[in-house]
Structure 1
Amino acid sequence: MAEYFVFEIAESLLGKLASNLYEEVSRAFDLYEDVQGLRDTLLIVKGVLLDAEEKKEKKHGLREWLRQIQNVCLDTEDVLDGFECQSLRKQVLKASGSTRMKVDHFFSSSNSLVFRFRMARQIKNVRRRLDKIAADGRKFGLERIDVEHSRLQRREMTYSHVDASGVIGREKDREETIKLLMQPHPHGDGYGDQSVCVIPIVGFGGLGKTTLAKLVFNDKRMDDLFPLKMWVCISDDFDIRQIVVKIINSASDPTISVVPQESIDNLDIEQLQSRLRHKLSCQKYLLVLDDVWNDDRAKWIELKDLIKVGAIGSKIIVTTRSHSIASMMGTVPSYVLEGLSAENCLSLFLKWAFKEGEEKEHPNLVEIGKEIVKKCGGVPLALKTSGSSLFSVFDLERWEVMRDHELWNLKQQEDDILPSLKLSYDQMPSYLRHCFAFFSLYPKDFGFTSAEMANFWVTLGLLRSPFGSQKIENVGKLYIYELYSRSFLEDFEDFGTVYYFKLHDLVHDLSLYVAKEEFLMVNSHTRKIPEQVRHISVVENDSLSHTLFPKFRGVRTIIFPVDGVGVGSEYLLETWIKRYKYLRHLDLSDSFFETLPNSIAKLEHLRALSLDNNCSIKRLPNSFCKLQNLQMLSLRRCLGLETLPKRLGMLIRLRKLYITTKQSILLEDEFASLNSLHTLIFEYSDNLKFLFQGAQAQLPSLKVLIIQSCGNLESLPLHLLPKLEVLIVTRCVMLNLSFNSERPIQRLMMKYLHIEQCARQQTLPQWIQGASNTLRTLLISNFHCLEKLPEWLNTMTDLKMLHIVNCPQLLHLPSEMHRLRALEDLIIDGCPELGRKCEPQSGEYWSFISHIKCVSIGETRKRKLLFQMLSRLRLKCT
């Protein structure tokens, strides 16, 4: 049954109504009394919403009452956003001074008289609806609940999650699985279909099949046994071509120049299978096929025929929830993963519920914990989520609620939504529950970054700073970290400015469970989209029938999250624009229409628009710049785009701008009015030579600048970017990084610097020294001529992460490297002589770096993950 997010929506709406903007505009248009009446009713309703949410399962009719309130609140938000649109139009009109624009405005629907009449009618309508619903709510006898007491306490950010080395209770399973891998094939190696041994690990969701496979995969004995190891996640779609591509990529060493992903995607299946067989031929390999759902034996045999070319002794581990799939794929009996022992269950639960040793101070809670543990059925994910939801909570009543909650009595569903996981969701703060539901729009095994999810949540108005003035981008990271601390995220990696993570299948199931009615992921099996849906994702091209999409005008989100899936029908796009005028987030990635309709200007509420990977589009209509609410615009890999739209400066709320263009020069006046611009990215702009040419003024709000594959770019105007915090420069072969060498070193505020493939650079540019007091992350990659690191590197007192990769001529570290006391993470790889000098204990530089918490010298596993992650950062998320 669907969840509702009424409290959070109502709170956000009240925040808007209390702002100076709405008070001023409502007075100006003689709507002040109506707006205040709306606010008063909403305050009354909000007071009992928490009680309604807690009692909705027990009182008949409450769910429908909550649904009605949510709908009217969202409709009210749409109406009130009209005030903001009008205010922005006036700002642009005033700044332009254009007589033509003023005449157009007078005859448009945004004319003050027309606007006043329309808004008065709409506000009176939503106020009348809300008053009626509020009156209906009195029959439920709801009570007012204090917000602060209804939410869980905030957990400490320093709480440490279990990594592979800290897994509890799987030592025996690991050894048994390794024993299977070390045994010869029971039917003999090298004979027909039995030439490769397939070992299935089977069990229902949340038991830890993937964790066990990782423990085995990373065991050092496997490195000695299998020269080639590959990990491929299969998930729902058993697409042979995609699996072959994944195996090829997994078998490739990122230290070696490999065929780009774009080229692999262009190969046909014959070329791919040839490359696959070349990779695997005569190699003794270990291949993990994680999370297999395919029960089509013909597809499995087709894949097996392609990969059974390895050397004698090659092994495949398959993880799956299905015993029938395990039987179909396995050449040996399945390894059936069981729940943890009672002792291990309690140990795991206590590890997540208390700080180390803290449980001894609360024996009464431990006794209740033992009862909770029994109801978790030995499932590690259930133990972790229930334990972490009680972390640093010492209220006896709260523990008893967890123990006695009625959800424990629900039977395990076919889709494995564990009662304990749902209960942990229920105890999330309302703001986090609403954000969590948006994960339901993405397919299983999707890799997320905190930046892209924060962008999404920002455009929908879901983020609010708990500390008042905190940057909205940082609030998104806080939300992600809180979900991580509650064990809702896995494969979590911290790369300084951004987190990378995935959702466990069980957690993804939960997101689908709570998001029904309002959220929908559309695929080829979708026959009808419910009328009340407001957020839609499309994950398969053959599901794009215009008759499928509802006529309901409240849709706020349409996205295409899967690479290669996009809209090609201009008619369908025009239908959406005409029908869904309250759209906030429109992601048309991988689409292939040639023009964007002039009618796009009608989407006055639009906050985010992505046209990524549309190689057909050449220009944007002039009307495009009427989207004054636009906060994020992405034109990445629009390789046919000839110029940026005229009057770009009219987009005065724009915070993030991602560009691919054929222009050679970008003039300063195209950016001068973008006073809110926070992030600017250029990529695959081969003609681009100069940024901000003719600039006289600085861009004071720009914090993030990423430049990738701009082969003719000659210089960077860092002197125009006084607040820059993140700089990533990759594959810009003509760029001279040692610019401004004749000027005094400028003080910088940079925190994150990644420079890659600067082939002619013999030393690091000296301007980096200007960030000595702020730089926290420095990544240097593929500097083939770099001979030494400057001594001033020792002045980077805040530096926490230093990665030096593929710098083969680099021989020495600075002599006072030990002064970098804040440094926690050092990777040196692809630097043969320097790596030898940094070897633990024996290397002459070991004493310089032995104080560093995490040191990796020549270890490709972590570097490979970094390589993949940085590629995603550049292509997808910042």
Structure 2
Amino acid sequence: MAELFLFSIAESLIAKLSSWTYEETSQVLRLYHHLREVSQTLSLVKAVLLDAEEKQQENYEMREWLRQIKHVFSDAENMLDEFECETLRKEVVQAHGSTTIKVAHFFSSSNPLVFHYRMAQQIQKIKKRLDKVAADRHKFGLETIDVDRRSVHRRDMTYSYVIDSDVIGRNQDKENIIQLLVQQNPKNNDKSLSIIPIVGMGGLGKTTLAKIVFNDRRINELFPLKMWVCVSIDFEIKQEIIKIINSNNASAHQQNLDKLDVEQLQSQLRNKLVSQKFLLVLDDVWNEDLVKWVELRNLMQVGAAGSKILVTTRNHATASMMGTVPSYILEGLSEEDSLSLFVKWAFKEGVEKRYPYLIDIGREIVKKCKGVPLAVRTLGGLLYLKDKKEEWEFVRDNKNWSSIKVGNAMFPPLKLSFDQMPSNLRKCFALFNLYPCGYAFESFDVTSLWGALGLLPSPNRNQILKHDANQYISELFSRSFLQDVVDYGIGFAFKIHDLVHDNARYLGKDSIIVRYPFVFTPEHRYVQHLSFPENVGIENFPIQKFVGARTILFPTPGVGANSEAFLLKFVSRCNYLRFLDLSDSMYKVLPPYIGKLKHLRYLSLENNKSLKRLPDSLCNLLKLEVLILSRCTELVALPKGLRKMISLQHLEITTKQRVLPEDEIANLSSLQTLRIEFCNNVESLFGGIKLLTLKVLCITSCQSLKSLPLDIEYFPKLETLLVDNCDVLELSNEHNQNSNLRLKIVNFISLPQLLTLPHWIQGSTDTLQYLLISSCNNLVGLPQWLSAMTCLKTLRVISCPNMLSLHEDIHHLPTLERLEIDGNLESWQHLTIDEPEQVEERIEELE
């Protein structure tokens, strides 16, 4: 329902028209007066949009009016994007163009005379349409609300693990499930496979309960092999087998298994399970097809006696079909447990004692939640940091409280929380619809999509690409829209609850997940976002009917575009693409006219293992902000002319080149993040070049790399450094000794030459916040000067088997919040820092 997001689009359009760039360009092209008139009309329409968005459900004519506005706004966005492209083109021609190029530019369709004529026509058409919808606003009696007062407030993220103290009211349920897993199967003396279903409505906490059971120490001792699989709604046997095989094997790559047939896959599955006593969790199962289930179950009958499968499902019929014991029916929380959970999410710890009158209102709110933890957390998060009685009473008395059930409309607690989001955050949330249920999100992928579609307020090229993006993610977390959050320093991983996904699907009416067979309807012609979870038959997809598409995405890992006809059709027809993800595709070359996709902000060709060449025209994508070429292991060379990509902020490279075009890279005036990966012929990097805007540097799997000179003179803004799997790299060389880098995040992973931390990290004494050292087999200890770090919040030393000591002064770290250390420590007893429960447990294990 894109009509819910029009206010934020209007704000963005007006902000652009008021910017210095547009004013200057429009005056040069003698279009200033026309654009000012467009801006004034936009302001008139914007003033009534918030009221219209609230009232559209009861008025069909108003919904149609808003739909017209959406189409006008879309064309206006494309028209203004033309101005930005023209401005960037002029910059590049002036900075890098020869006389010949400048003359050719004058005679092209981009010269001022031709551009003025073409844009004047477009502006007049849009103004005429805007005038009409602006005049129609009077017939609806709409209230003027010119400012969206719904705001984003940030709540701290949590770590990935689910610990018992975070789960309220489920201790007895946990013990009951563990007892079912421990006891023998009454049938056939425990030799047959036992399946235990947990059944309950969405949001009750079935998955959370399964997690705390899965991670219990008793279960670890009882089942040598544990596997967790989030089941697809369509329950395809092949895909479920692949998931089970991959479930606890980080080295297996799904894209390789996809090429195997079912016979080969079932052989691998049986080999994995044979004679093993295993626990398999099948989370969120919907399948009611007995034949499919029996086929999969029979493949797993090779495990050792006592093997168990734990199933979570909303569907009683599914549970009855699969279970070998009676279903465990999960009930709602008690009112007291619900209130405790609500308080945990609505207040900072201990603050609730100041507001007894709010607790009384909260008690009435949780009664309406009927014991559903997701509802309780959602409304607690909605009221977080709000201390006005009226705000709490608004939630308690809201008209959305008609039913706790999920139907064709939104889940009421989520609807309440959604209604309080600012318009731009609403649209960000709705785009989760492009990904399949159970998808494992990376914050970079999500925020790149938001940024490419213009949903993040970062109009200044000197600002970082993800400006406010992490704040948006934190806001969605605080509203219980995200779960399983993992903070890995340079970003977040997370999932979303299946009910949350249902609601994103309800809202994302201008996006479509394409599954075959596909039937085109008239409503589809306005769809802007296309997601292909499968690639079967895409060569026949009617892309010509989606010429206004802004997003093309292949979200399933290992599944990319496999049709050259599909590529040629969308490149030639979809002129307004902003986000193009061709990861895991099979192309050897790209068509040269891909350089005409001038609106494109994001292009991923990751893991195109057949890609050998890129056209130089790719460098004509002057609006491109993200270019991902990682894992393109056959790519002979980068395209010529990279320096022209003056908007590029994030670049990932894999190439066979021995020497990277560092001078070209150094001229990328907006570059914020650089990732160099699997460049196995490169021996040295950054020989004297300056990367003045770079903030994030990642060097991964460059097996010939020997030197990596880092100095503040050449990297004055560098904040994040990740170095991973570089076997011969020596980080403590003399060139680095006097570096005064001001790093905030450092990750060193799989570096056999690392014996201790390089001395140049000392320059970050008052800036370093996150330090991870993992799988560095020759690391023997941490230096004493590490205890002088005044801002360090997270210290993780993992899988470093030869680390023998941890200096006793480590307890002087004043800001440490998270500590995780394993290894053969001899001096761990000096560790006296007050840490989270799981760290204390880890230390007990070491003792």
Aligned positions of 1:257-406 closer than 5 A: 269=262, 272-356=265-349, 362=355, 364-406=357-399
Structure 2 counterpart SS, 1:690: coil
Structure 1 position 309, deviation (Å): 2.4
Change (3 A) 1:640 1:248: same
**Secondary structure in 2 aligned to 1:139?**
helix
Residue 646 of structure 1 and its aligned partner are, at CA, apart by: 0.6
Partner residue in 1 for 2:783: 790
Q: How does the TM-score come out when normalised to structure 2? A: 0.93
Equivalent residue, structure 1, for 2:85: 85
Q: Deviation per CA, 1:455-489, whole angstroms, max 9, x where unpaired?
A: 22111111126999974424111110011011111
Partner of 1:776: 769
The one-letter amino acid paired with 1:569 is S
Count of aligned residue pairs for this structure pair: 841
Structure 1 486/787 Cα, relative in aligned 2: closer, same or farther at 3 Å?
same
Aligned to 1:177: 177
Paired AA for residue 207 in structure 1: L
Find the counterpart in structure 1 of residue 231 from structure 2: 234
Is 1:509 the counterpart of 2:502? The answer is yes
How much has 1:444 moved relative to structure 2?
0.9
- 1:586-605 to structure 2, matched below 5 A, reads 586-605=580-599
AA aligned to 1:198 is I
Given the superposition, is the C-alpha separation of residues 718 and 357 from structure 1 closer, same or farther in structure 2, using an over 3 Å criterion?
closer
1:624 is the counterpart of 2:621? no
Q: Is 2:158–2:485's contact at 8 Å kept on the other side of the alignment? A: no
Q: Matches of 1:250 and 1:411 in 2, distance apart?
A: 34
**CA offset digits 1:694-750 (Å, max 9, x no partner):** x4x411111111111111122113233232211111121122222235x65210111
- Secondary structure of 1:392 counterpart: coil
Q: Which residue of 1 aligns with 2:795?
A: 802
Match of 1:22 in 2: 22
Q: How does 1:716-735 map to 2 (within 5 A)?
A: 716-719=708-711, 720-735=714-729
CA contact (8 A) 1:234 1:291 kept: yes
Contact 1:595–1:617 (CA under 8 A) maintained in structure 2:
yes
Instruction: Report SS of the residue matched to 2:660.
Output: strand
Q: Does 1:492 align with 2:485?
A: yes
How far is the alpha carbon of 1:605 from its aligned partner?
0.9
Partner Cα distance (1:478, 1:683) in 2 = 29
Once the 2 structures are TM-superposed, how far is the Cα of residue 771 of structure 1 from its aligned partner? Answer: 2.3
The one-letter amino acid of 2:201's match is F
Note the alpha carbon deviations across 1:519-540, whole angstroms, 9 max, x for none: 1111225322601101111111
Secondary structure of the residue that 1:671 maps to in structure 2?
A: helix
Matching residue's letter, 1:478: Q
Q: 1:653 aligns with which of 644, 647, 655?
A: 647
2:511 maps to what in 1? 519
Could you tell me which residue of structure 1 aligns to residue 213 of structure 2?
216
CA distance in 2 between counterparts of 1:685 and 1:861 reads 42
Counterparts of 1:45-194 in structure 2, within 5 Å, are 45-145=45-145, 147=147, 150-152=149-151, 154=153, 157=156, 164-191=164-191
Distance 2:728 2:144 in 1: 65
Instruction: Provide Cα deviations, 1:383-426, integer angstroms capped at 9, x if missing partner.
Output: 22123212333444433433343332258344784222122111
Q: Secondary structure of 1:409's partner?
A: coil
Deviation, structure 1 residue 53? 1.4
Q: Tell me which moved more, 164-173 or 196-205.
A: 164-173
Q: Which residue of 1 aligns with 2:657?
A: 663
State how far apart, in whole Å, the 1-side matches of 2:641 and 2:432 are.
35
Quickly say closer, same or farther: Cα 1:127–1:199, change in 2 above 3 A: same
Give the whole-Å Cα distance in 1 for the aligned partners of 2:274 and 2:611.
Answer: 43
Residue 207 of structure 1, aligned match among 192, 204, 220:
204
Residue identity matched to 1:218: N
Deviation at 1:260, TM superposition (A): 6.5
Q: Distance in 2 between matches of 1:855 and 1:336?
A: 30
Contact 1:632–1:655 under 8 Å retained in 2: yes
**Residue aligned with 2:4, SS:** coil
Shift of 1:665: 0.5
Distance 2:157 2:180 in 1: 39
Whether contact under 8 Å (2:457, 2:467) holds in the other structure is no
Q: Does 1:738 find its partner at 2:737?
A: no
1:610 deviates by 1.0
- Equivalent residue number for residue 674 of structure 1: 668
Q: For 1:802-841, what aligned pairs fall within 5 Å after superposition?
A: 802-829=795-822, 831=823, 833-834=824-825, 837=826
Measured in 1, the distance between the counterparts of 2:252 and 2:572 equals 43
Q: Is the 8 A contact 1:631 1:653 kept in 2?
A: yes
CA gap of 1:771–1:13, structure 2 versus 1, over 3 A, is same
Change (3 A) 1:207 1:857: closer
Quote how far apart the aligned CAs of 1:794 are. 2.3
The CA deviation string for residues 577-609 of structure 1, in whole angstroms up to 9 with x for no partner, is 222211111111122122211211221111111
Say if 1:155 and 1:392, in contact at 8 Å, map to a contact too: no
Q: Is the 8 A contact 2:541 2:566 kept in 1?
A: no
Which ranges of structure 1 fall in alignment gaps of 5 or more residues?
Answer: 838-843, 864-878
Q: Kindly indicate whether the alpha-carbon contact (under 8 Å) linking 2:539 and 2:563 is maintained by their aligned counterparts in 1.
A: no
Q: Is the 8 A contact 1:441 1:536 kept in 2?
A: yes
Deviations 1:229-286 (A, max 9, x none): 322221324344443343344445x7xxx66667666666555544444443333322
Q: For each residue in 1:18-59, what CA deviation from the matched residue of structure 2 results, as whole angstroms up to 9, or x when unmatched?
A: 100110111111111111011111112111111111222234
| 1:480-519 deviation per Cα after TM superposition (whole angstroms, max 9, x unaligned) | 0011011111111222331221100000001000111x11
- Provide the TM-score with structure 1 as the length reference: 0.90
CA RMSD in angstroms comes to 2.8
Moved more, 462-471 or 678-687: 462-471
Contact in 2 for aligned 1:589/1:613 (Cα 8 Å): yes
Partner-residue secondary structure (3-state), 2:299: helix
More displaced 10-residue stretch of structure 1: 324-333 or 521-530: 521-530
Match of 1:406, SS state, is: coil
Contact 1:5-1:70 within 8 A present in 2 as well: no
Summarize deviations over 1:311-343 as a string: whole Å, max 9, x none. Answer: 222221100111111111110011111222333
Counterpart CA distance in 1 for 2:731 and 2:53 is 57
Task: Deviation per CA, 1:175-204: give whole Å up to 9, x if none.
Answer: 22222222221213355xxx1111001122
Relative to structure 1, the CA distance from residue 273 to residue 505 in structure 2 (aligned partners, 3 Å threshold; closer, same or farther) is same
- 1:315–1:785 distance in 2 versus 1, CA, 3 Å: same
CA contact (8 A) 1:287 1:317 kept: yes
Provide Cα deviations, 1:825-871, integer angstroms capped at 9, x if missing partner. 22222x2x21xx3xxxxxx53233434446648959999xxxxxxxx
Query: In structure 2, how many angstroms separate the alpha carbons of the residues matched to 1:810 and 1:857?
Result: 19
Q: Residues 89-113 of structure 1, C-alpha deviation per residue, up to 9 Å, x if partnerless? A: 1111111241231232123211111
Distance 1:469 1:854, change over 3 A: farther
Give the 3 Å change call, closer, same or farther, for CA 745–692 of structure 1 in structure 2: closer
- Find the partner of 1:708 among 693, 700, 707: 700
Q: Distance in 1 between matches of 2:514 and 2:178?
A: 41
Separation in structure 2 between the aligned mates of residue 364 and residue 166 of structure 1, nearest angstrom? 25
Matched-pair contact (CA < 8 Å) for 2:729–2:753: no
- After TM superposition, the structure 1 = structure 2 runs for residues 738-777 of structure 1, keeping only pairs within 5 Å, are 738-740=732-734, 744-777=737-770
Asked if residue 848 in structure 1 is aligned to residue 803 in structure 2, the reply is no
Q: CA offset at residue 787 of structure 1?
A: 2.4
- Match of residue 193 from structure 2: 196
Which whole-Å CA distance do the structure 1 matches of 2:587 and 2:780 have between them? 49
- Whether the aligned pair in 2 keeps the contact of 1:637 and 1:684 (CA below 8 Å) is yes
| Distance in 1 (alpha carbons) for counterparts of 2:72 and 2:613 | 39
**Residue identity in the other structure for 1:96:** H
